[in-house]
Amino acid sequence: MSFDLVFFGGTGDLTWRKLMPALFQAFRHGKLPEGGRILAVARDDRSDEAYRQFIHDRFAEVESSKRPSDEEFARFAALLHYQRMDLSHPEDYAGLKQWLDARGADTVVLYLATSPYLFPVICEQLGAVGLNGPQVRVVLEKPLGHDLTSAREINRVVRSVFSERQAFRIDHYLGKPSVQNLMALRFANALFEPLWRRESIANIQITLAESIGVGTRGDFYDKTGALRDMVQNHALQLLTMIAMEPPSTNDADAIRDEKLKVLKSLKPFTPESVARDVLRGQYKAGNVAGQAVPGYLDEVKVPPGSSCETFVALRTEVQNWRWAGVPFYLRTGKRLAARDAQIVINFREVPHPIFPNASQPNKLVIKLQPEDGLELHLMAAKGSGPSDQLSPVQLDLDFDRAFPSERVGAYERLLLDAIAGRLNLFVRSDEQEQAWRWVEPILDAWSRDATGLRTYAAGSWGPAAASALVARDGFAWAEEQ
């Protein structure tokens, strides 16, 4: 199958830092289909050779195990091409169409690795020159809009040019192998599904923690914040996969239908519940891994006195038969104590304890990063005598050890799926809009109240009030248990 993959924003950070290394790994693993061309478009004047050298130089910043040898890069670089485009000039889109039509590939994937405010104009111009035929797919990188209104406008324009089956809204968390194992855990095994409900589960915690700060992206991040950057997309997508009903098939729409039902079942926020159940914070100076680091307000390109949140913790519920009354806690932040993304399923205590110290409930930990695996925490007897007390033990499954061959990274998986036309791991427009609809009352409440921002020391687990949020229900975050 021949394909042409076009990157709008071909010299931007996302393209050279994430997308090109992912494509190279697919090429190295022999998974990139034969007969492919990769075209980068941007405003600079460059030749193909100059662009190939640009990408070659950027690969020096990729972790060593994923860097190509000179011979590997020479073969990969033969796929790379470059074309100058000003995205505001209609004649440049005609030139792009001419370049693509000269070969007539079986599949054309147009990846919009640009600011989302450019999505409407790019899609309109693609439609105007006829670059929206049935063989064309458009990939939209997050964030898709800044709020519900802008998200709807982007989707309106995209739908006016492309069908829903041609639109691939990307959330790279869905491409992680650990998230695929979450689906397999629930729907390919009979072990947990009978327990996956309110009668057995006390609470569910989703943590997406980063130890890094905003780096040089202070101007972008300050307009976005943790709620838009991580909760509206990544955290909510993970919540839907945890809480969804079993789909009838492994078809994209069957899966996305069930995820949408979860989003529609989330308890809506009011100004009163935002004040009670949502916490925002901003990091100040502290220590991470033994190194002193600055506070958010001292980071590069951050406006003085900014009230942008770098931490969010919230409590919500899924109001349906399966999950009624079970609290879901979502937490994300920058400059936290560790880089740690995980989902913790805390089970209820045994109904009638007969052992003296068996009060520690079972829990299932689904590790997303930096490790990729499962931990099942149980109570067991040492077998040392008739009055033996129970002790906590854990069954630990490391997927990198269980599957020692090369595993596919998130962007590698999603790029290959886009080329193949598989929509299972991409977000449908109604899902995306419903997620914005759910977070919008939080944004509205914050816009009217600038006093609720709490500070926390870099290297901590966030404001102390985040612990109080969970303790109010008689629970604790995983690291405090």
What residues are annotated to the active site?
Answer: 234
Strand partners, 6: 39, 110
Q: Report the alpha-carbon distance of residue 145 to residue 158 in Å, rounded.
A: 13
Strands (E), 10-132: 36-42, 80-84, 107-112
Type of residue at 444: D
383: alpha, beta or left, given left = phi > 0 and alpha = psi -120 to 50? left
The answer to whether 375 and 396 have CB atoms below 8 angstroms apart is: yes
- Tokens describing residue 292: 């002193």
DSSP code, position 33: P
Which region holds residue 293: left if phi is over 0, alpha if psi is between -120 and 50, else beta? beta
CA dihedral for 241, 243, 247, 253, sign (positive or negative): negative
Return the structure tokens found at 474. 């008689």
The count of residues in the chain is: 481
Q: Position 344: which residue type?
A: V
Q: How far apart are CA 367 and CA 111, in angstroms?
A: 29
Calculate Rg over the CA atoms of the chain. Answer: 24
Residue labelled with tokens 């923690």: 209
**How crowded is residue 330: how many other Cβ atoms within 10 Å of its Cβ?**
22
Locus of tokens 């199958």? 1
Alpha helix positions (H), 207-341: 218-222, 225-226, 236-243, 252-265, 271-277
Collapse the DSSP code of 120 into the 3-class scheme (helix H, G, I; strand E, B; otherwise coil) and give the result: helix
3-state secondary structure at position 206: strand
Nearest CA-CA partner of 309 in 411, 242, 214, 398: 214
Q: Where are the alpha helices (DSSP H) in 248-328?
A: 252-265, 271-277
In angstroms, the CA 247 to CA 341 distance is 25
Query: How far lies 42's CA from each of 17, 35, 37, 198, 216, in Å?
Result: 16, 23, 17, 51, 21
Cβ neighbors of 402 (< 8 A, separation 6 or more) are: none
